[in-house]
Amino acid sequence: MKDLRESIGSMYHPKAALVIYEATNNKSECYVEYFDMDRHGHPINAHPLNVKEAQQLAKALNTATDGNKAFLKPKSIMAGNVLYIDPSPNGFVMWYTKAARKQLFFVENLGIPNGTAAIPSLLWVADKRKLYIYALKTDRKPTAATALYHAPFFNVYSEGNVCMGTVDVNIRNSASLEEFTAAWESYFFKSYFSHLMQHHNPVQGNCVSLWKKLSGTNEAFPKDILKKTNKTVKSILG
């Protein structure tokens, strides 16, 4: 039992209770009664809710919502690579990254060595749980009319959504914009690429051969192998 209790985590005990009374003949009239709780969880010491107790309650409620207020708020001037933000509690961000060299990881049975490789410019669209990713032909900042290409990676469906496999995605409710985008890029590149999704080949040619050629070398990424989607930036924003 001791081990079981430890695995559950913090224990919470009742401290106080509120009972709201409504007038029979006037529903806009209310009376709030405050109860302390004894060590057995029984209500005691009933009295009208006073100003100090009301202020403590308001403070607790404000603290609970602080995380949602901070979600996707930039720490400073918003980065130039961010294209769109929906800052609601279930919102999302669209941003792009320029062509770069990244450390990539592959499962052993692909026969591709882990290593640094050139990747194209990418367009990212993510909320707290899901990530969509597309390739771009140039490093120029995308516009609404910019055409999108399939991201040339394993673990990406034809619609652009990413299978994160066993990666434990944990985006905080209070994550800043910078923390949010950095977390998703880290999740994506630190996961192991393993297989094509539903027989979707994201490149013109053989995806395994492509990354065998690029991983651990100084080869430039061959943009001509990118496959165009039927999407633009505007179309995925709806």
Q: What is the pLDDT of residue 232?
A: 97
Single residue among 33, 48, 70 that ends a domain in this structure: 70
Question: What is the pTM for the complete model shown?
Answer: 0.73
Residue range(s) defining the domain that contains residue 23? 2-70
Q: What is the pLDDT of residue 163?
A: 96
pLDDT, tens only, 16-63: 888 888 877 776 677 788 888 888 888 888 888 888 877 777 776 665
34 plus 118 within the same structural domain: no
- Indicate if 227 and 121 belong to the same structural domain: yes
Residue at 121 is within a domain: yes
Q: Give the model confidence (pLDDT) of 79-116 as tens digits.
A: 999 999 998 888 899 999 999 999 999 999 999 999 99
For residues 174 and 100, state if they share a domain.
yes
User: What is residue 9's predicted lDDT score, i.e. its pLDDT?
Assistant: 43
Q: CB within 8 A of 33, min separation 6: which ones? A: 18, 19, 20, 21, 46, 47, 48, 49
Amino acid letter, 128: K
DSSP 221: P
Cβ partners under 8 Å of residue 123, min gap 6: 83, 94, 95, 96, 133, 134, 135, 136, 142, 148, 233
Do 109 and 199 sit in the same domain of this protein?
A: yes
In-domain check, residue 184: yes
User: Do 216 and 160 have their domain in common?
Assistant: yes
Residue 77 is assigned to a structural domain of this protein: no
Instruction: For the chain, give the mean pLDDT.
Output: 88
Q: Is the pLDDT of residue 68 over 60?
A: no
| Overall number of domains in the chain | 2
